[in-house]
């Protein structure tokens, strides 16, 4: 049964990467609109800023004001990437270092907890409840449960089977639902940085002149 769940998770992982690649090529096939305005700066500087300092919590008024919500999201996503890393690693290796196991279990477990907090926020906060779709709830629930089992499996190998089953469901759902924003994040930040740089809103080494 463990082997079956493992194969199922592997198939779902391949489906996930296939689905993300599909979305990538469908988007890349579309036109990239021309900007007729004369460039004033380098788009590369803007893109660099967009993916680095522009992501910092102090770079945006919204995250300065809602830094707890922002850090919750950061912890959740660190948990997701660590969880995926451990899941992929588990296909190749059965045993990890014990200290490493504990550290990853804590990071991923905390990520899962932050996922459940996110669900509570969507239920209790009026604005969030209004803008949320069923897909939002399903996605966060699937990811959080999957992370919880990955964390548990690092401590107790008996949880490996539920880990593979829940991860298989989550990975299968990912390219169909909201989770595919993991791909569009890169497109979005690129376009954002592209315009910031080209119109010289962001200068070399981060001096931002927006609003001046």
Partner 1 sequence: MANNGALQKAIEVLEKQLNQPLKTALEVCARCGICAESCHYYVSEPKIEHVPAYRAEQLRKIYRKKNNFLGKFFPRLVDAIDLDEKVFDKLVEMAFSECTLCRSCTFNCPLGVDTPLVMRTIRAMATAKAF
User: Interface residues with partner 1 (CB under 8 A)?
Assistant: 23, 27-28, 30-33, 50, 55, 60-63, 65-66, 69-70, 73, 125-128, 130-136, 138, 176-178, 180-181, 184-185, 187-189, 191-193, 210
Q: Distance between CA atoms of 44 and 62, rounded to whole angstroms?
A: 25
Q: Distance between CA atoms of 171 and 165, rounded to whole angstroms?
A: 10
Q: How far is the CB of 13 from partner 1 (least distance, A)?
A: 19
Backbone φ and ψ for 174, nearest 5 degrees, come out as: -50, -50
For the residues of 127-141, what is the DSSP string, one character each?
HHHHH--HHHHHHHH
Q: Which is nearer to partner 1, 142 or 152 (CB)?
A: 142
Q: Read off the DSSP letter of residue 30.
A: S
Q: Which is nearer to partner 1, 92 or 124 (CB)?
A: 124
Q: Which is nearer to partner 1, 52 or 133 (CB)?
A: 133
Q: Which is nearer to partner 1, 95 or 126 (CB)?
A: 126
Q: How far is the CB of 138 from partner 1 (least distance, A)?
A: 7
- On whether the CB atoms of residues 72 and 122 are closer than 8 A, the answer is no
Q: How far is the CB of 10 from partner 1 (least distance, A)?
A: 22
Q: How far is the CB of 24 from partner 1 (least distance, A)?
A: 11
Q: Which is nearer to partner 1, 60 or 204 (CB)?
A: 60
Q: Distance between CA atoms of 179 and 140, rounded to whole angstroms?
A: 8
Q: Which is nearer to partner 1, 57 or 157 (CB)?
A: 57
Q: Distance between CA atoms of 165 and 9, rounded to whole angstroms?
A: 7
Tokens of 145: 């449960």
Q: How far is the CB of 90 from partner 1 (least distance, A)?
A: 27
- On whether the CB atoms of residues 136 and 128 are closer than 8 A, the answer is no
Residues with Cβ within 8 Å of residue 156, at least 6 apart in sequence: none
Residues with Cβ within 8 Å of residue 190, at least 6 apart in sequence: 47, 50
Q: How far is the CB of 23 from partner 1 (least distance, A)?
A: 8
């Amino acid at each position: 049964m463990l082997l079956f769940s493992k194969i199922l998770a592997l198939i779902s992982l391949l489906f996930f990467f296939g689905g993300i690649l599909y979305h990538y090529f469908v988007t890349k096939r579309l036109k990239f609109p021309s900007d007729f305005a004369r460039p004033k700066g380098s788009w590369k500087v803007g893109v660099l800023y967009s993916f680095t300092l522009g992501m910092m919590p102090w770079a945006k008024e919204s995250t300065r004001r809602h830094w707890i919500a922002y850090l919750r999201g950061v912890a959740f996503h660190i948990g997701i990437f660590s969880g995926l890393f451990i899941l992929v690693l588990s296909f190749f290796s059965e045993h990890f270092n014990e200290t490493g196991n504990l550290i990853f279990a804590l990071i991923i477990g905390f990520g899962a907890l932050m996922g459940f907090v996110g669900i509570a926020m969507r239920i209790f906060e009026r604005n969030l409840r209004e803008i949320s779709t069923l897909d939002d709830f399903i996605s966060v629930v699937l990811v959080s449960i999957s992370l919880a089992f990955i964390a548990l499996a690092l401590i107790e190998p008996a949880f490996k089977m539920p880990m593979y089953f829940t991860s298989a469901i989550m990975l299968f759902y990912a390219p169909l639902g909201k989770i595919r924003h993991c791909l569009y994040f890169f497109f979005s930040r690129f376009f954002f940085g592209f315009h910031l740089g080209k119109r010289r809103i962001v200068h070399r080494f981060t001096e931002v002149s927006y609003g001046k």
